[in-house]
Amino acid sequence: MKQTIYQFVLVLMLAVSSFACSDDFLQNDKYGAAATDNFWNTEGDAKAAVNALYTHFTDDGVVGRGFMWYICASDDMVVGRDKAQSVNMKNFIDDGSNSYTANNWRLMYRVIARANAIMENVPGMDIDADLKDFIVGQAYFLRGWAYMWLAPRYGDDRAGIPIVPEGTPVTELDVARAAHVSDNYMQCVSDFDKAADLLPYFDELKAEDYGRPHKTACWAYAAKAYLYNAEYDASSYEKVVEYADKVIGTNQHELLDDYADVFKIENNWSKEYIWSFVSSDERGCITPSVFLENKGWGKFNGWGYWHATNELYEEYEDGDERREATILKFGDDFQYFGENIRYYSTNNRTGFQFNKFMDPYRTADCVGTTVNPNGDYPTTDLNMPLIRYAEVLLFKAEGLLMQGKNGDAPLNEVRKRAGLGLISGATMDDLKHERRVELAAEWSDRHQDLVRWHDAEATYAKPLHGRIHSNLSDPDSPFEVKEVWSSRSYDPVVNHVWPIPPQEIEESKVLLQNEGY
């Protein structure tokens, strides 16, 4: 199975090297005009073009730290190492120039431009029909995915983000913002629908294509697009259920028996998998190492950027098996570099380490085997889930509840796996609880949940806490619960969205900044 990971990661590495300096493909201006004189002639050209869609899936600003800083704004974690960019973003003091996140806008529009170029050129190529469908399907999916990456964070009912259709003339690539973010979500749904028509099911993919989108990933993301759109149009909840049922009804997916097993390298492609960032110990996603204890107890260069809060720990019910799988507290046993150790930390701000992504560091020989030896680029063999089956079940539960219907069945399926009792007559409070504890520290985005539920202002008005131990080197030392992060001022009019990077505003004649920035 590791060979499968390397096959797709090799595609990423080749795509990066092939197109980093190419004069023949995708010389980008504002939103990506493509130079095509010497391209779009062979199957090799088409494959190279689709592989180029994935080049940013190894970019630290996307899959490493960049996107997680949006999530760090939530009440589930605090900044572990104080730097101006991260502290300001946590405190909603941001003008969009933050170097950790500013490139996301440009990189996603580069993906959109590359996808558009495929849609414009590949359908007319004289190549194998099945290959053509597979390539164009990926282009539709990744264009929709790129819009989904940006739209919830930069668009709302006052303005969406620019929609750049395929075939847009080079002279018209400086596109104004959509009138409403719903326009973006419906564009996403359209793209995911078209992709689903062209792409196979996951079990029909060749092993070397694991990591590319497939049919149920399209439907899962369409469900998420409708879920986000439901903040503005409640009729979208019906579509959330419809698309969740498309995924569920295929019987392609199921929950693993043990929650902790979801985040093991051996289960990168399990039945619970829907779509992930693919990673290896050579190239991919550094996120597990960014969560890891700063300096890794002297064994590896962990970065220690995000620490779980006491609020998150206390959110779990007694007996919830997800708590220990997600969070390490002082005295908890875990496997690290071939040793059984008990957790302690001399530099953790809260006394809690996220445990969910620790599998790559279990064995004595992990460095060079499951962990990149380069501590400045500490990727691992663990794929990072973007959407998994449990979230689809919670999509359905939320869609049902918000229509005034009974959401017990999908919600209880998630709870049962966690070792908890079943709920009768579940409410939205139950749903919010389950999303928080099931998906903590994942790309499901707790902060965005609080924003779309209109809970952010009240939540962020409360300080965050940790367990401060009397002896930071002693796993058994007593602790006091103390404030570790002050309450924050969240203005729902302004902070409902993030500021568009000012560089993008400056280089455009029509792009307008979000209100209040």
The two three-digit tokens of residue 84, written as one number: 């101006």
Question: Per DSSP, what are the bridge partners of residue 336?
Answer: 339
The span from the CA of 282 to the CA of 10, in Å, is 9
Band the pLDDT of 66: cuts 50, 70, 90: confident
**262 vs 475: CA distance, rounded Å:** 27
pLDDT of residue 14: 52
pLDDT at 339: 97
pLDDT (average), residues 12-32: 43
Tell me the average pLDDT across 5-9.
Answer: 55
User: Do 1 and 266 touch, CB atoms closer than 8 A?
Assistant: yes
The pair of three-digit structure tokens given for residue 176, joined into one six-digit string: 């104004």
**pLDDT tens across 67-114, in order?**
899 999 999 999 999 989 999 999 999 999 998 899 999 999 999 999
Q: Mention every residue, 6+ apart, whose C-beta is less than 8 A from residue 418.
A: 259, 320, 321, 322, 437, 438
Report the pLDDT averaged over residues 246-251. Answer: 98
Contact 128, 472 (CB under 8 A): no
Higher-pLDDT residue of 17 and 436 is 436
Residue 5: pLDDT band (50, 70, 90) is low
List of E strands, 155-287? 273-277
pLDDT(29) > 60? no
Instruction: Work out the average pLDDT over 189-200.
Output: 98
Give the H/E segment covering residue 468.
strand 464-469
**Type of residue numbered 89:** M
Please check whether residue 233 is in contact with residue 182, taking contact to mean a CB–CB distance below 8 angstroms: yes
Q: Which of 29-43, 84-98, 393-407 reaches the highest mean pLDDT?
A: 393-407
What's the whole-model pTM score? 0.94
